Every structure is written in C-alpha cells, then in structure tokens.
Amino acid sequence: MKKIIQMFLPIFILSSQVFAIAGFGLHLNQSMYSVSETTSQLLVDNPEGGEQLPVGNFTHHGFDNGFGIGGYLYIDAIPVIDIDLEGNLLVSPYDFSFNNSEVTISKKQFGWLAGSGYLTLQKKLFKLSIPFLAKAKLSAGAGLNFHSSIPMISQEMIASVMGGADQLKGGDLDTGELIKYLNKNKIPDKGFHIQTGVQFKLLMLDSFLYYRQVFADDVIPGAKGFGSLNLRLGMGF
C-alpha cells in the first residue's frame, strides 16, 4: 500500500500544481425568487353572442425559491480569463386550485421547471496556494445565459387538457394532453449574468462556492431576474 501511495502521490501533486487547466463535475444551486399568487376566471363563449361567460376559476398559489441540479465544465488554459460552461434544471413545486360547476380541485401540486445553460468568462482576483497540496482562488465573471421554461397554469392550458373550451364545465384532465401542451408551449428566454465566488482545489478534487445574479425578463414569471447560491463538486486536471 505504501508503495502504491508513493507511486501515485507525485502524479496527483503534479496534476494539482501544473496541469490544472480544466475541470468538470456536479452543480447544485438554491435560486432565490418569489412568484405571487394569482386567480383568474375561466371564460367560455356566449352562445347568444356578447361577452364571454364565467364558468369557474383557477388559482396558482405562488411559490418561493427553487432547487437546481446539473453539471459544469471549465477551461483554465487561456491567459487572463477562464471559460466556464454550465447546464442545470431548476425546479419549483407549487399548488393550484380549479373549480367549475361540476369539478373542484383544491390545492393540487404541480411543478414549474426551467432548463438553463450558462457561458461565463471569469478572471482571477486573488489566489492562495499551499505548496504541494492545495490552492484557492477568488474569481469574478460575467456571461450569457439561455433558458427554456414551462408555462404556468392558465385558461388556455386547462382548455387544452380537458378537451377544449366547451368542456370547461365538466371535462376530465388528460395527462397525455398536458404533457403535449407543456412541450409545445415552452417559453424560451436569454439574458446575461454576473457572478463571484471561491474555488478550492485539493490535489485533483475541486469545489466551488459562488453567488450569481441573472438578468432575464421571462425566466421567472413576473420577474426581471433572480439570484442563486451555487455549490460545485468535481475534478480538476
């Protein structure tokens, strides 16, 4: 065992100190935002003409914050800047209620989902090394982000998954149609972000802790952006 350690330890040390040009691993985050509760009427066409008739209402009860999971890849081989790529899936459960003359659903749980990709250019601000063992650095950066999220509960969605607007009074929920609707009506968006944080590297093991502020109009319903606290665990080479 001692001979194995003696054989591989110099390789780990060399990788840590000289060849730390790239890394990859698992990304976790806690995103911070708030979506307010809203209630809307369900309306159908009046067979006699004129204004639409109310036949019920639906409510999505709002939600706070979300949890994300994904992966990352960074390249630290270019002078002056580092290139960072990240993809993650953000999830926020929320409750919705629905009622019409024949059906009442009270606080049924649903989920809001968003898939995101981030491209970030970073610069080292401060670096600290422990010879032959570990190093840490403080970095700041900015970049572009791309998102695709599912819509919130709406009259159009309810009509689509219950067989049409004429079925709003007593239609049944069709799960297959719901999935089709969500896929067809995904909401694309893009924006920019800034971030800063600390990377700590022990031999080939990498960890990051940083804060990111995203500026994008339509990712979070009703918000111009959101912040997130991010943790990464991976390998650096």
Tell me if the pTM is above 0.95. no
> Following DSSP, what letter does each residue of 40-82 receive, concatenated?
EEEEE--TTSSSPEEEEEEEE--EEEEEEEEEEEEE--SSS-E
Ramachandran assignment for 21, one of left (phi > 0), alpha (psi -120 to 50 degrees), beta (any other): alpha
CA dist 95 and 107 (Å) reads 5
- Name the pLDDT band for 53 (thresholds 50, 70, 90): confident
Q: How do residues 150-177 score in pLDDT, each as one tens digit?
A: 988 777 777 777 655 455 445 556 677 7
Strands 53-60 and 38-44: antiparallel
Question: If DSSP codes are grouped into helix, strand and coil, which group holds residue 166?
Answer: helix
Fold of 2-236: Porin (2.40.160)
**pLDDT, averaged across the chain:** 82
Residue 7 is predicted with a pLDDT of: 47
Point out the least confidently predicted range of 27-41, 52-66, 70-84, 187-201. Answer: 52-66
